[in-house]
Amino acid sequence: MSGIGPRALSMKADAAKILVSGVSVVDFVFQLDHFPDRGEKYRARDVATVGGGNAANAAVAAARLGGRVSLASRLGDDAVGDMILADIEREGVDCRLVKRFAGHRSPLSSIYVDGAGERQIVNFQDRDIPVDADWLTEQMPADLDATLADTRWGEGAIAAMRAARAMKIPGIIDAEAPIGDTEQAMQLATHVAFSAQGLRAYTGCGKLEDGLIAAAERLPGWLCVTDGENGVFIRENRATHHIGAFAVDPVDTLGAGDVWHGAFALRMGEGDREDDAVRFANAVAALKCTRFGGRRGTPGREETLAFLDDACPSGDRRRSDDTNGRP
C-alpha cells in the first residue's frame, strides 16, 4: 500500500496498537435444533449471555490475539451497558473511549443458533443515541498501528479513517449491511472488507466477483468480500483472486465475521501482507465457528498459529482481468 511501509514483528518490542470503532452489544444466545417458525413455546438445548456487536467482537478478538486494543463505542447509562462494558474490560480492551449517554438505552440482541451452527438475530438499538464523534476526534490516540470501524456508527468510522490517513497507517472498514452513512469513511479507508450481504447491498450485484468490480469503481482502496465457508475474494490492481477458507465442523457461526475483521486489522497493524493477513483471519474465524457462545469461542494467538501449521484451506485461485474486464 502506498504510504504504508511493512514492518516485521521482530522490529516491534511491544504489541501493535489498534483502535476499533463501532457498536457494542450484549447477546442472549439460545441453541436450538431448528429455528422457530410458529407462535408457540420452544425449549433451548443451551444458552449463553455474551458480549457481541461488530466492533466489540473485533476488539476482543484482536486483544486475545496479542494486540493492544482501544474500543470507541456508544452506550446508554443502563444495566445492559454495565454488562457490556464489564465483559469487554475483562478481555483487556481499553474502554476509555466508550461513551455513556444519560437517558439512553444500550444495544442488545436475542439470537437463535440452529443445529447447523447458523444464526438468526433480532437486534435492538436506541435510534436516538447521539451520533456525534467530535469527542472521539479530540481524544484520538496518537500512536496507533491500525484503525478498524464498522458500519453501525458512521461518524465514528469517519473519525477513525481520518486518523488512519493522518498517521499513514491501515484504516479498515468492516462493511456489513446496512452500509448506512458510512460512504465517506469507505472513501477514506485503505481497506474495505465486505461481508457477502454487505457487498450485495452496496452494489446490487448477486455475484460477489461482479460486486467487487462494481465496488472498485466507487472505492479507491484495497477490497475484499468474506463469504464464510467459501473463503475470501480479493480485488486489487484490477484483478480478483481467491483465498480459501478452512474446513471445520461448525457449531456456532455467530460473530465469525467480526472476529475475522479484528484478526485482519491486527495483522495489518503488525505490518503483514494482505494475503497473509487474510489467511490468518480465516483461521481465527474457522476456530471460532467450532465452539458455541459467540465471541467466547475466539481463539488466542498460539492456538491459531498451531491450527495454521496443521490445517489445509480449500484451494486458492488467482485470475487476472481479460479484455472484457471480467476476472
277-286, pLDDT tens digit by residue?
999 999 999 9
| Edge-first strand listing for the sheet containing 25-31 | 46-52, 25-31, 108-113, 119-124
Torsion sign, CA atoms 22, 303, 119, 189:
positive
- What would the pLDDT profile of 33-79 be if each residue is shown by its tens digit? 999 888 999 999 999 888 899 999 999 999 999 999 999 999 999 99
Q: What is the pLDDT of residue 9?
A: 36
Size of the chain in residues: 327
Distances (CA, A) of 108 to 12, 28, 51, 105, 143: 38, 8, 9, 9, 32
Tell me if 22 sits within 8 A of 261, measured CB to CB.
no
Task: Evaluate the omega torsion of the peptide bond into residue 178 and state whether it is cis, within 30 degrees of 0.
Answer: yes
Tell me the C-alpha distance between 174 and 192, whole Å: 6
φ and ψ at residue 263, rounded to 5 degrees: -65, -45
In CATH terms, the fold of domain 14-35+44-319 is UDP-N-acetylmuramoyl-L-alanine:D-glutamate ligase (3.40.1190)
How much is the average pLDDT of 24-40?
Answer: 91
pTM as predicted: 0.88
